[in-house]
Amino acid sequence: MIPVKDVMTTKVITFDQDLEVGEVAERLARANITGAPVTDPEGHVVGIVSEVDVFTKKGKKASDIMSRHVISIGEDTGIEEAARLLADQRIRRLPVMAQGRMVGLLSRSDILEFFAHSLWTCQACGQGYRGLEAPGACDFCSGTEFRLERGTLAPGT
């Protein structure tokens, strides 16, 4: 299992709950992101605001337009479980928590990046497999030992 702490973004852009909506829009556009966590003065995540919230909801502050139902995960959650949660809940990002504090953010883009640049290689025959977790057994030699290779992979692998 690959924990999300190995894949998440650690330099997270957040918005104060009292930030004006116009400034939220400006920062989202400048950072080229589609949303971010909203925090209270103590740094606790109290919501998530997205670009859709900015242009479909009425309000003056981030707290007026944010989604208050925040789904979060722990830093040791497996990437496959997190990917299923993102898909099943139809959300784009998950705050990653450790000891009650946000330590990162996992987005669908982070998972796609992992998938695109990772290959599980059978230690017996060298056959490669894409996936968020190692296969149970190699289709070619029935080997069960796999090594995760990350980095730039040749197209089509």
Question: Do 123 and 98 share a structural domain?
Answer: no
Please write the tens of the pLDDT for every residue from 83-93: 999 999 999 99
CA 30 to chain centre: 20
| Cα-based distances in Å from 45 to 114, 129, 133 | 25, 37, 29
Q: Is residue 140 part of a domain?
A: yes
Question: Do 128 and 104 share a structural domain?
Answer: no
Question: Do 93 and 29 share a structural domain?
Answer: yes
Within 41-135, residue ranges assigned H as helices are 51-56, 62-65, 79-89, 108-116
Please write the tens of the pLDDT for every residue from 102-125: 999 999 999 999 998 999 999 999
CA distance 147 to 151: 13
Question: Do 123 and 62 share a structural domain?
Answer: no
Please write the tens of the pLDDT for every residue from 24-58: 999 999 999 999 999 998 889 999 999 999 999 99
Full domain range(s) for residue 90: 4-112
Question: Do 35 and 76 share a structural domain?
Answer: yes
Q: Is residue 157 part of a domain?
A: no
Question: Do 58 and 97 share a structural domain?
Answer: yes
